[in-house]
Amino acid sequence: MRTPEEIRNDDLEIHDHAFVLTLLRAKSFKQGKFTLSSGKESDFYLDCKKALYGQGLSAIGSLISGAILRRVGDIQGVGGLTMGADPLAVATCLYAHHFRHVEWNPFYVRKEPKKHGTEQWLEGPTFEEGARVVILEDVITTGGSALKAIQRTRIHRLNPVLVVALVDRQEDNGRQNLEAEGIPVVSLFTRKDFIP
C-alpha cells in the first residue's frame, strides 16, 4: 500500500509532467532547418536550457528524481557532460533532498580533462569506487554526449546504472547506442510530444 507521501509525489509528477511539456513547447521547441551537434540537419530543434529556470527547474527535478527512484533506487550521484546536464543535476539533487529525503551528489563531466593538478574528467564530490550514478542528458540524438559521460565516469571507477534524458529525439539510434553499453535509458519526453 502506498504511503500518503508517495501518493502526493505521484500526483505532483503528473502535474509537473504536463507543466514541463508546456514549458518546453513554448520556450525550447523550434521548427525550421537546423544543424545539430552531431552535424546532421533536422527540421526541429530543442534548446532545453531556455526552460531551465525557476518553477521549470523544480518540476524537472521532480520528474528526474521520480524516474530514478522507480528504476534504480539507491544511487550516490547524478551528472553528465557539461553543460547540458549541469542544471539537471543540481535541480535533481535539490528536489531529491527537499522532497524525497534522499541525498545524491551532483557531478560534472568535463569536455576536456583538467590541464593541471589531477587532470581529472569529473568535477564535484569524491565518490567511492563503484558508486552507483545516473547519467543525465537534456536531448538524445546520437547519444554521443551521454556516451562520453558514461566512459568518463567508468574511467573514474564509477558505476553508471541509468541514463535519464529530458527528450529523446528518436533519431540516429541514440537510445540503442546507449543501451549497447548495458545501461537502460529513460526519456521523459520523445519526438512525438513535439511533432505528432
Q: How many residues does the chain have?
A: 196
Domain 4-193 top-level CATH class: alpha beta
Contact assessment for residue 110 and residue 138, using Cβ atoms and an 8 Å cutoff: no
| Dist. CA 114–CA 20, nearest whole Å | 34
Q: Is the pLDDT of residue 192 over 70?
A: yes
Model pLDDT for residues 11-40, shown as the tens digit of each residue? 678 889 999 999 999 999 999 999 988 788
Across the chain, which distance is largest between two alpha carbons, in Å?
53
Percent of the chain past pLDDT 90, that is, above it, reads: 79
Q: Is the pLDDT of residue 124 over 80?
A: yes
Domain boundaries, the chain: 4-193
Q: Is the pLDDT of residue 97 over 70?
A: yes
Percent of the chain past pLDDT 70, that is, above it, reads: 93
DSSP 127: P
Model pLDDT for residues 56-90, shown as the tens digit of each residue? 999 999 999 999 999 998 999 999 999 999 999 99
DSSP 2: -
